[in-house]
Structure 1
């Protein structure tokens, strides 16, 4: 743990875990020091203020999302609604299973971000990218790729919430099977001229 980047990554990961487990108030410099077994004040050395810590944590979530997204979506963007729905459903499934802690942390940090515009912007785009959605919708032939991208991101946001905290999280349906169908329906609808 002598590498500064590694220590910063560990601190950000601990902040994510604390937020997911205990909400935004659980994310403190002291709690992170305790969680990682660091000397008191270590986290403050790397991130002097809570805002700096939250900014780094949101950047950490964004970086993980971008890396995971490129791992799920093929290098060539999908060119059919079915292929796009499959890629998006796989990404959402990965978010709410393997990265569930990250999704829960994001929701926990919302109240901190509301009063800080740069945190709000970072948090709003840390799991889903309007730019990537615009490229996808443009490649699929959407009449208005920008508007379709915003709507697609809103759909993905809603599905992520539903899968972690809503009805789909209750386990009474098979979310993976229904997810691709729902996403495909929306993509087809978004491709229609407004």
Structure 2
């Protein structure tokens, strides 16, 4: 079983690179075989259909995202026993820096994964089952809502969703939008500081009464 799991992960990683380079049109069983350095027919032996291949890619992306998020968890826990924020300004500063670091990672070493994720999200418009697998947004929403509740923000559920939407839009802009041309170069201290400043500005607004 472990052998099959490892082989499917290898194939999914090769497929992610193909998606990042050429989008969904580049994703074929033969192309995955070639990219993975395996004999022709290897991908179809494990993932017989195109649907199975795409689902394996989406699952792999979700697993890798969860691993990244586990290392950048938002502060969570029970609300404070008395009214008032449980998170200080320093806490929010550290959180913004952590989110900035994570976004910068997804723009550099995780760039192919990020591009592949967007390709899969577009595919999920027509295949809702893929969106259910790509659950990093759900995890982020739970963490963001809890964070804003602990910071004393009004309407923390709604504002938590807004925080996630903003962060996702910021990532998209830096990857393929105008920000890709005007923002600091990803992978530099300036990039991480700029991303953190953007997140901190939003946190300041969302936690205001």
State if a TM-score over 0.5 links the two structures: yes
CA RMSD of aligned residues (A): 2.4
- TM-score (normalised: structure 1): 0.87
Distance 2:182 2:11 in 1: 33
| Equivalent position SS for 1:109 | helix
124, 148, 151: which is aligned to 1:113? 124
Across the two proteins, how many residue pairs are aligned to each other?
192
- TM-score (normalised: structure 2): 0.81
1:175 equivalenced with 2:191 (yes/no): yes
| Equivalent position SS for 1:3 | helix
Assess, with a 3 A threshold, how the Cα gap between structure 1 residues 27 and 175 changes in structure 2: closer, same or farther. Answer: same
1:16-52 per-position Cα deviation (integer Å, ceiling 9, x unaligned) = 1000011111111111112122222221222222122
Aligned to 1:55: 55
Distance 1:111 1:153 in 2: 18
Aligned to 2:114: 103
Structure 1 ranges of 4+ moved more than 6 A:
74-78
Distance 2:195 2:149 in 1: 22
Q: Where do residues 1-194 of structure 1 align in structure 2 (5 Å cutoff)?
A: 3-73=3-73, 79=87, 80-123=91-134, 125=136, 129-170=140-181, 173=184, 174-193=190-209
In the alignment, structure 2 segments of 5+ residues that lack a partner are 78-85, 185-189
Distance 2:64 2:158 in 1: 26
